[in-house]
Amino acid sequence: MSRSQSDINPAAGPLDRLTRSVVDYYESKLAQFGPTAKGMDWNGEASQALRFSVLCGICDLDGTSVHDVGAGAGHLLSYFKDKGLNVEYSGSDLSESMVKAALEGHPKAQITRRDILTAKGAERYDVVMCSGLFHVKLQAAEKDWQVFVRSMIRKMYEMCRIGIAFNLMSDRIDYREKALYYSNPGEMLDFCRMELSPHVLLRQDYPLHEYTTYVYRNPPER
């Protein structure tokens, strides 16, 4: 697939209508703050780097292929380069503006405008990652957003050879923002074990109000 190719179905389906407002939201942040951590709607670079570090704990990534769902401006690729990780990186995002920003920072990267739920083809990657995509639901109903999240996780698992890693806001907190989506860690663990794989690891051992889930096709080496 070429870097410039768009794999977005122009016919708006139910999930497309659900996520359009979220794409607009992130594009407004990009326009306001540029291709920075705040432009991706993170509090700052430190929390963004911490999330990346936890995601990368899924396995030894050296020599693997990694696909970044909701790649934004390609900051995960920047993280890989900063850490000297030998990773065959590719990414996708629903936002044309985000893809443009990513390719401006990484002209040779395989980052495309693509909806993995509707995209044709059967690309497979060793690891599929997603950071922050599921956090902001805006005005979407909780049940509708849960359908979207679980549909994405199922698709990510279809695309992987080794496993997937993604993060979600935890509902184990005493304050909530209406625009954010909070997930029950136990329910997510059960969902992954029942529908995807028995080999699941859930991490809440880092100082953010969220958790990261690894789902493996086979028991991981430790």
Three-state DSSP at 167 gives strand
The reply to whether 7 falls in a domain is no
Residue whose tokens read 């549909």: 151
Which whole-number Å values give the CA distances from 81 to 73, 76, 94, in the listed order?
A: 14, 9, 24
In a domain, 161, yes or no: yes
CATH code (residue 57): 3.40.50.150
Asked if the structure places residue 115 within a domain, the reply is yes
Per the structure, the complete domain to which residue 94 belongs is given by: 14-216
Residues 44-72 have a mean pLDDT of 94
Assigned domain for 184 exists: yes
Residue 164 located in a structural domain: yes
Domain assignment present for residue 1? The answer is no
pLDDT tops 90 at residue 122: no
Mean pLDDT within 56-62: 97
Q: What Rg value do the Cα atoms of the chain yield, rounded?
A: 16
Entry pTM: 0.89
> Taking residues 69-78, what's their average pLDDT?
94
Helix axes 185-195, 142-159, angle to 10 degrees: 40
Cα–Cα distance between 217 and 198 in angstroms, integer? Answer: 8
pLDDT at 117 over 80: yes
Q: Is residue 74 assigned to a domain?
A: yes
DSSP states along 110-157 = EEEEE-TTT--S---EEEEEE-STTTB-TT--HHHHHHHHHHHHHHHH
Q: For residue 180, what are the β-bridge partners?
A: 136
Q: Considering the domain boundaries, does residue 47 fall inside one?
A: yes
Q: How many domains does the chain contain in total?
A: 1
At 16 the pLDDT is 67
Q: Which one is predicted more confidently, 17 or 56?
A: 56
- Comparing 52 with 34, which gets the higher pLDDT? 52
